[in-house]
Structure 1
């Protein structure tokens, strides 16, 4: 018997994160690492972190989150809205773990303090902009 209610019965299902990664680029371990970090940090706030194999240099992290309904709002029963948290092609390379955690937090628990992850965030942001951004992520196997 499961201790957690089925998501179909829950009034507000827990968020689901998907990490779509390129198998040609051999990014599965990187995707699994991010999944582990998110599950460790948001252990009871996330319902699932799923790894989705893909090709073509893809590395996209998406969150599917149903905001808590207001008392006066009616539920439409549709699929939860999705939001891309990181796209390698758009955001440039791969996220630092801290940044990915911040982006997840900002969607599911905006008031939550992430402790050391939040310290000196403004300073790191300035230094990162001055240094030219994050590491690349070119793939010779799939030419992307």
Structure 2
């Protein structure tokens, strides 16, 4: 593989085990994969994105991760840039399972609420609701039948 094709975070270390010469000469403005002070956190306003809130006391982590995986498979990057899974553990969030959609410059849309809807989302319906907001008219294949 040519040097230009190697990921900057995957560059091999030099023979003595230290960072490569390129990494040691980095300035504070440059990303240095070996210097945490140069790391830039992801934006908290990444859109479009989805947040799945769930009651941790109800042990719904598996359902939330399964839902997020299915959504990423249906809406890969860059259609959906991030899916956040948010466990909640308070009296006022008991039994909660909500799915929120965040879009550029628009208010968040709650696309599912377990208590309001009377149960967990059928993935077909959840995918259709999200699609209708971010890609109206896109075929979801078997999920549209």
| Alignment TM class, shorter chain as reference | 0.5 to 0.7
C-alpha distance in structure 2 between counterparts of 1:101 and 1:41, whole Å = 8
Q: Find the partner of 1:98 among 112, 115, 124.
A: 124
TM-score (norm 1): 0.64
TM-score, with structure 2 as normaliser = 0.64
Displacement of 1:106: 0.5
Counterpart of 2:56? 23
Please list every run of 5 or more consecutive structure 2 residues that lacks an aligned counterpart in the other structure: 1-7, 10-40
Query: SS in structure 2 opposite 1:19?
Result: strand
Residue 87 (structure 2) aligns with: 53
Report the counterpart of residue 23 of structure 2 in structure 1. none
Match of 2:112 in 1: 86
- How many equivalent pairs are there? 100
Q: Partners of 1:106 and 1:15 in 2: how far apart? A: 13
Shift of 1:14: 3.5
Residue correspondence of structure 1 range 58-73 to structure 2 within 5 A: 58-66=96-104
Kindly report structure 1 stretches of 4+ aligned residues shifted beyond 3 Å: none
Distance across 2 between alignment mates of 1:109 and 1:7? 24
Bigger RCO (CA 8 Å, 6+ sep)? 1
Aligned to 1:114: 140
Moved more, 103-112 or 13-22: 13-22
TM-align CA RMSD: 2.0
User: What 5-or-longer segments of structure 1 have no aligned partner?
Assistant: 67-78, 120-144
